[in-house]
Structure 1
Amino acid sequence: MKQIIRYKKIRGKQKILRRIDDWAALNCELNLAYLEQYKRDYVKFWVKPFSNLNVGNSIYPEPYGEFKEKLLYGLFEIYHAWKIQLDELGKPYYLKIWLFEKKISRSQVVCAVDECLDFYDNTFANIKNVSIDELKLAFNHDLDNFSKLNWQQGVDVGSVENNYLDMFDDKNSQEYRQAERWFHQVKEQAFDVYHAPNPSDVAFYYLIENDRVWIGG
């Protein structure tokens, strides 16, 4: 039986909007001491209720409407503030906004320096250049601030083992039949396979698209 997802109602709109403003303001100050030590830093969208842990089949929806607009604006404000501080260091740096198309709440600002400068280069697959018009169409919002950045699109990749179904002992159970249907969808939707260099139980992985990610900087 397919699980039915129920979305919780968002209450306290103005309070949540203030939380988003506070989140952005709090994170505009880049922790340079932390960056110097670890060479990387990032800020994610930790704002309740969107960052709450979902339990069971009742979940909060992704940020929408004014919540989404505030989130996008906040990400740009953090990016802009970090850029000013990184410019003052006088050395190369990586600084990007990652916008997740389906799960906008996973969006973040990411930076790296020194030996970690190239750390994020292979985070996403199938990178291609895109226009600001394509970005606006995808997010259905006025993104004039984002037009100042150069944008690329990539794929956040998930992987599933080729022997995934072997983990089920009872091949006649309802759980197995559900897993079998899901695994069939995985194989149909996979855009590539990755062959394990030293295969043991797993010979290869099906690579699937978890989300499209828009990378701006």
Structure 2
Amino acid sequence: MANPFVNKKKVRGWKRRIREVDMWKNNYLHLDIEELNRTQRKYLKIWLDPWNRLVKRTPPVWFSRIILQALLDVYNAWYKKLKATGEPFYLKIWLYSPNFVHSQVVCAVGDALNYYDDTFDKGTVRKEFPTKFSNLPNIESLEWELCLDSITYWDSELKENIAEGYETISSYNNIVQRSYASGQMKLSYGNDTYYKIKVGDVWLGSLNATK
């Protein structure tokens, strides 16, 4: 299957795109604590054209490093503001691989402090942190935890898609066989079976809040 995050169409105007990264970063360096206390959660995604269009594109490695450095700068600025409050907080960089354009800085406080605790399943295979990012300034000061980037499919939706002609029995069986985890969950409409398919890795990076 072709990787939907790869697009070979030539990208032009790199100097302008580098400036856009700086403007994007500068717009989010300041964390409004009062607003955060009202909303309980805040995140910064890679809202940069052409990478975040409907059909996602993977930036070249050198440009991904520039974007990740911007996320690190925002993370450090938010960390200082949150640390100064003296209150507990959740603050992590979610670094996706190979789906880099999904990477983001994520924050939660108050009643939402544990909102993201079960977002990802833990990685089961030992891997080294991606070497293409390993020498970015200050990146080693963060502790990085490997988790799974996955898609969850629901049995009822898959069977409904088969009935409506959007899914085949063969593709349904393929999802069931490829799933690394499955089980039943009680939802608002009743019990349903889920299947999780791994599509990549996600590294969760954070500073030790006690430092």
How high is the TM-score relative to the length of structure 2? 0.82
Q: Shift of the alpha carbon at 1:52?
A: 2.1
Count of aligned positions: 203
Question: Gapped runs of 5+ residues in structure 2?
Answer: 207-211
TM superposition outliers: structure 1 runs of 4+ over 6 Å = 2-5, 128-131, 198-202
Q: Shift of the alpha carbon at 1:141?
A: 5.2
Amino acid at match of 1:91: E
Q: Residue 85 of structure 1 corresponds to which residue in structure 2?
A: 81
Q: Pairwise mapping of residues 150-165 of structure 1 onto structure 2 (< 5 A)? A: 150-162=143-155, 164-165=158-159
Identity score, percent: 27
Q: Residue 26 of structure 2 corresponds to which residue in structure 1?
A: 25
Q: Shift of the alpha carbon at 1:35?
A: 0.2
Question: Gapped runs of 5+ residues in structure 1?
Answer: 55-59
Among candidates 126, 142, 147, match of residue 149 of structure 1: 142
Greater CA radius of gyration, 1 or 2? 1
Q: Retained in 1: the 8 A contact 2:50–2:57?
A: no
Listed one character per residue, the Cα deviations across residues 9-68 of structure 1 (whole Å, up to 9, x for unaligned) are 2111111111112111221111222101111111111011112233xxxxx531123210
Listed one character per residue, the Cα deviations across residues 119-170 of structure 1 (whole Å, up to 9, x for unaligned) are 1111111257978xx1133x46533421001111112332223352453348
Q: Retained in 2: the 8 A contact 1:99–1:214?
A: yes
Amino acid at match of 1:85: K
**The residue matched to 1:88 in structure 2 has which SS?**
helix
Tell me the distance in 1 between the aligned counterparts of 2:195 and 2:70: 36
Tell me the distance in 2 between the aligned counterparts of 1:96 and 1:4: 27
How high is the TM-score relative to the length of structure 1? 0.80
Q: Residue 203 of structure 2 corresponds to which residue in structure 1?
A: 214
CA RMSD of aligned residues (A): 2.9
Among candidates 85, 93, 115, match of residue 97 of structure 1: 93
